[in-house]
Structure 1
């Protein structure tokens, strides 16, 4: 609503109330398993469409869309039946309108698909205006660890230039603002001529008429029990008088053991499907689970061979008893299986049960060595559900289609609790901008 209503129709207070209830529309790019998506949905944004190339992640997004629709229509028992294995995924999807699922577009973002994806988005949104575009191109090409493992320092990695595709969507749909999320390594990443990528990206956004500001945020300051630093880039059309959003901090004082409190113990290669207690205050505060939710899914621990289990036990004892990490080179000779004993000395790492987690990354999909359970009675790597909780995903969030796919989606995600804080900051700026326009004379 851009114009003032005619005098005498409704009161000024009612005008403000209408404005404050306005639904802002969001286009979601590089959606992954939906961490940023979930945060913006929970903040009240209307998620018009999602673009993601990974088929497993797209299924997760569809399943989550089905969950939200069924919940809003008081049919959540159908979703619960799916989690219990009583109905198939196709049967679940048949219970919701097609448009609920068809707004998930499974496409790689590239010039080859761009026109087709634009057409699909246009069909979905109709005459709706997109207020904000969110997303973060794949971070592997920017990450310091990724560059260190690549002989060419990721200079030839095409993912490094996917920001150009993101900008094509900004140019096409002209949102009021955008959120572009990535790893801290983006600040030091360079192109083949040694020029900083962050400067190139800024110039590209400026060229199409958008501002460009960023801050380094740590998820632990926004309600997440994880030391996870990310760069949150934000911008808006230059003609608008807007500011970088304020994100309300909410640092948790609790610990990982509190986060795992109601989960049953596991051995390696074991699964359990029942909680051992009602949720504690932390779990309820983070909206991981409330008393009404009693379906535990994806709480299974991967198979671990006997050699690695012995290493896990040594790492647990050293960390829990002495607060020290075990370096790979200091392992007993009979337990060493890698020829390279100089790099990645911390390849085996125990989570700090009395503190917060170190950064969750997608490598957990390959092995769990870096995420050994903090309870010495559970010598194993963490389960999918525990990893999801560390990332602040609620227990009713189901990751398709396999354990490996689930770990990948979780490790790549923006924690939903942090994402909601970001979304609320953006919402405040958008409301202020529309508020100013609404009351212009």
Structure 2
């Protein structure tokens, strides 16, 4: 059971993969369209290789900028790692190329799991509200059929399909109904639950559908997930980091305070005395003035700033009915609101909850809210890192799902 493997589709920066690797699964391949996310995946795979070889200091030398990426990959990556990260869009003629690459990596082994979730924009409520056709004609509605082609090709024992809540209601539930019927026709039993990320130790209000399928005729069943009962707050993942000014770029910095119970329990601050990518985006004077108002309103009254409440001199348009909650402060004494990829475009929806640090979240703070460990390095610069973080499946959530699946597969094999 220590040799169970998986293929990760639509992998992003590897949040799902990180959880499955931590649970003891071996990745065969990652398939992802975003080049910078693929670079992040390769970097993380080298990390796992070096860790298994007791050479982790070489990885720390890289993320602390003692060597270039080119030097790092030349010295410590290999063709098996680089070939396993397939930077190709899934679908159409591309699938043939992807299959050929995966077949070479498999070396005639059976695929145990396929994991992943197609881009969620076509199913999300925000995406449907913004599109004039409600995303009805968006080709991404049918990416589940591309996902299914990998089930047909590799017949895994189990698959995990993660997506947003909006999938259930898209086209009045038609897509989700058709999707499940399609997977069943391919020979899989399946079930799904709606999971709250805080039950897995992730400190944000994130709701996701976890659809799991397994081959018909097996004694597998939908797993039960252990729920974290302890109550933690965002303060425990922010308090030890250095204070930042807007635009301050600390790619490498020392921790400012001792670790916390949360960081220790979930191993986010994991063994080194420095942290990377604690960098804040710059803001203009108008945004900083708005942030200050939003922070004061939230910390003093627990009220959210609405656009109509702004002083006249800070308003830039007359529309006071659309997107009125554009500015949002992270709740330091509770859970963050959902982290999404829009954080790459501006920080208005993720304002740091301190009137002595008027800015939006840093890359590292956003990564912690998504439960990425501090030694997880995102390639491509600040904006690319934010996009990868916002698109990711929280690794803590993924590892619990992976452990539950592994337990069931182990029980099955013993029988």
With structure 1 as the length reference, what TM-score do the two structures score? Answer: 0.91
In structure 2, the CA distance between the partners of 1:251 and 1:369, relative to structure 1 (3 Å rule), is farther
**Equivalent position to 1:376, from 352, 355, 358:** 355
Aligned to 2:222: 244
Aligned to 1:156: 137
The reply on whether 1:219 has 2:197 as its aligned counterpart is yes
Aligned to 1:264: 242
Tell me, in whole angstroms, the C-alpha distance in 2 between the residues paired with 1:365 and 1:91: 28
SS at 1:170's partner residue? helix
Q: In structure 1, list runs of 5 or more residues that go unmatched.
A: 1-20, 437-441
SS at 1:197's partner residue? helix
The reply on whether 1:253 has 2:226 as its aligned counterpart is no
Tell me, in whole angstroms, the C-alpha distance in 2 between the residues paired with 1:230 and 1:251: 19
Aligned to 1:16: none
Q: Tell me which moved more, 36-45 or 78-87.
A: 78-87
Tell me, in whole angstroms, the C-alpha distance in 2 between the residues paired with 1:320 and 1:233: 38
**Equivalent position to 2:408, from 422, 429, 437:** 429
SS at 1:393's partner residue? coil
Tell me, in whole angstroms, the C-alpha distance in 2 between the residues paired with 1:131 and 1:68: 20
The C-alpha deviation readout for 1:46-80, integer Å capped at 9, x for no partner, is 11111111101000000000111111112222212
CA shift for structure 1 position 260: 1.0
**Equivalent position to 2:87, from 106, 129, 151:** 106
SS at 1:189's partner residue? helix
The reply on whether 1:201 has 2:179 as its aligned counterpart is yes
Tell me, in whole angstroms, the C-alpha distance in 1 between the residues paired with 2:109 and 2:22: 20
**Contact map agreement 1:224 1:252 (CA 8 A) in 2:** no
CA shift for structure 1 position 251: 3.8
**Contact map agreement 1:221 1:252 (CA 8 A) in 2:** no
Q: In structure 2, list runs of 5 or more residues that go unmatched.
A: none
Aligned to 1:186: 167
CA shift for structure 1 position 252: 4.1
**Equivalent position to 1:355, from 303, 318, 334:** 334
SS at 1:95's partner residue? helix
Aligned to 2:389: 410
The C-alpha deviation readout for 1:265-286, integer Å capped at 9, x for no partner, is 1111012322112322211111
**Equivalent position to 2:9, from 29, 35, 42:** 29
Aligned to 1:365: 344
CA shift for structure 1 position 203: 1.1
Tell me, in whole angstroms, the C-alpha distance in 1 between the residues paired with 2:86 and 2:179: 25
Tell me, in whole angstroms, the C-alpha distance in 2 between the residues paired with 1:44 and 1:340: 52
Tell me, in whole angstroms, the C-alpha distance in 1 between the residues paired with 2:356 and 2:414: 56
Q: Tell me which moved more, 30-39 or 236-245.
A: 236-245
**Contact map agreement 1:66 1:92 (CA 8 A) in 2:** no
Tell me, in whole angstroms, the C-alpha distance in 1 between the residues paired with 2:44 and 2:369: 19
Count, aligned residues? 412
The reply on whether 1:282 has 2:288 as its aligned counterpart is no
The C-alpha deviation readout for 1:25-66, integer Å capped at 9, x for no partner, is 111111001100100000000111111111010000000001
* Structure 1 residues 10-409: aligned runs within 5 Å: 21-96=1-76, 97-190=78-171, 196-272=174-250, 273-290=253-270, 292-409=271-388
Tell me, in whole angstroms, the C-alpha distance in 2 between the residues paired with 1:26 and 1:107: 18
Tell me, in whole angstroms, the C-alpha distance in 2 between the residues paired with 1:153 and 1:421: 34
Q: Tell me which moved more, 257-266 or 176-185.
A: 257-266
CA shift for structure 1 position 146: 0.8
Aligned to 1:5: none
SS at 2:170's partner residue? coil
Tell me, in whole angstroms, the C-alpha distance in 2 between the residues paired with 1:223 and 1:276: 23
Tell me, in whole angstroms, the C-alpha distance in 2 between the residues paired with 1:279 and 1:120: 43
SS at 1:188's partner residue? helix
The C-alpha deviation readout for 1:92-125, integer Å capped at 9, x for no partner, is 1112232122211111001120111101000001
SS at 2:129's partner residue? helix
Bigger strand share = 2
With structure 2 as the length reference, what TM-score do the two structures score? Answer: 0.97
The C-alpha deviation readout for 1:393-426, integer Å capped at 9, x for no partner, is 0000000112111111100111000110111111
